[in-house]
């Protein structure tokens, strides 16, 4: 029969209290102050490392050509690559007071963080006339001039019937304070006609997926352009309210209402052509991006 094991003398039995040891001064000074000295040494070493100029130290240790190669590799995989983006802002059916339209408004870019190439297109197809009411394409070079703003310049071409034209474009696109998305541009045609456009949008999150989006668009002309049935000044104004549900962030059907009105001499041109200068439409469409 084996003898029962006795607890080690330096280990208390279960439930036994062990009195704390007092440092009476007889212990080794290294044992009593070792923890504090080690902590102080670690803090001092960390401070020296943090204060050292890391890039300069790396350049001293590593060859300059090898450092440049590593930097190019980092830029390629972490911020130096080519980005692409396509957005269908509005692909929708509009009732248009009994003359239904299909309207599209899309844009996309390719490029880096600073320089990009943008392509924008918008237009409308008239189901009653079985023809395009208007259509345009823009090709733009864009350069970031701030954290939230791009300066853009390029060309625009209109394909709509009876006023096929090409314009030079300069504008700005970005996010203003209070999170308004702004797209503003000035167009100068090869015939010398100068017009401008301002678009503003805002997104109000009712829930994480249900979003209400007000939108306003203003078009200006610096002189009368009879060929385009456009008068000088504020020529047309559009306002819309769209409610979308994001099934996925990249895919969202929506419904809403849109109002458009011709103003000033542009309204007179519309009446002379037998058109109503004002129209209210119920809209249903799809917004997507990838």
Domain that holds residue 113: 84-289
Q: Is residue 89 part of a domain?
A: yes
* Dihedral sign computed on CA atoms, order 145, 150, 153, 154: positive
Q: Is residue 235 part of a domain?
A: yes
Q: Is residue 42 part of a domain?
A: no
Q: Which residues pair with 123 in a beta bridge?
A: 104, 135
Per residue of the chain (290 residues), what is the pLDDT tens digit? 444 444 444 444 444 444 444 444 444 444 444 555 556 666 655 555 555 555 555 666 667 777 777 777 776 666 667 899 999 999 999 999 889 999 999 999 999 989 999 999 999 999 998 999 999 999 999 999 999 999 999 999 999 776 789 999 999 999 999 999 999 999 999 999 999 999 999 999 999 999 999 999 999 999 999 888 999 999 999 999 999 999 999 999 999 999 999 999 999 999 998 889 999 999 999 999 99
CA atoms within 13 A on the CB side of 102: 9
Nearby residues of 242 by Cβ (< 8 Å), 6 or more positions away: 212, 213, 215, 254, 255, 256, 283, 285
Q: Which residues pair with 241 in a beta bridge?
A: 214, 257
Burial tier of 53 (Cβ tally within 10 Å: 0-12, 13-18, 19+): exposed
56: left (phi over 0), alpha (psi -120 to 50) or beta: alpha
- Total count of domains within the chain: 1
Q: Is residue 259 part of a domain?
A: yes
263: left (phi over 0), alpha (psi -120 to 50) or beta: beta
Residue 96 is given by DSSP the state G
CATH code at position 193: 2.40.160.40
């Amino acid at each position: 029969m084996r003898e029962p094991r006795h607890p080690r003398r330096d280990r208390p039995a279960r439930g036994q209290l062990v009195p704390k040891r007092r440092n009476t001064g007889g212990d080794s000074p290294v044992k009593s102050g070792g923890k504090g000295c080690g902590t102080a040494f670690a803090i001092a070493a960390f401070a020296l490392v943090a204060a050292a100029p890391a890039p300069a130290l790396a350049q001293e240790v590593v060859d300059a050509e090898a450092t440049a190669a590593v930097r190019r590799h980092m830029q390629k995989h972490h911020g130096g690559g080519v980005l692409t983006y396509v957005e269908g802002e509005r692909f929708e059916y509009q009732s248009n007071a009994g003359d239904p339209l299909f309207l599209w408004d899309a844009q996309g870019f390719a490029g880096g963080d600073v320089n990009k190439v943008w392509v924008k297109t918008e237009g409308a197809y008239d189901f009653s006339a079985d023809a395009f009411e208007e259509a345009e394409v823009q090709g733009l070079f864009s350069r970031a001039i701030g954290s939230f703003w791009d300066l853009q310049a390029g060309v625009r071409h209109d394909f709509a019937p009876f006023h096929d034209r090409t314009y030079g474009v300069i504008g700005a696109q970005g996010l203003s304070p209070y999170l308004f998305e702004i797209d503003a541009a000035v167009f100068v045609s090869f015939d010398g006609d100068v017009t401008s456009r301002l678009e503003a949008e805002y997104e109000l999150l009712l829930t994480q997926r249900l979003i209400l989006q007000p939108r306003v668009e203003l078009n200006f002309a610096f002189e009368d352009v009879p060929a385009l049935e456009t008068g000088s000044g504020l020529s047309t104004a559009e306002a819309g309210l769209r409610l979308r549900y994001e099934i996925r962030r990249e895919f969202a059907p929506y419904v809403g209402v849109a109002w458009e009105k011709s103003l000033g001499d542009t309204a007179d041109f519309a009446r002379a052509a037998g058109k109503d200068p004002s129209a209210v439409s119920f809209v249903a469409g799809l917004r997507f991006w990838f």
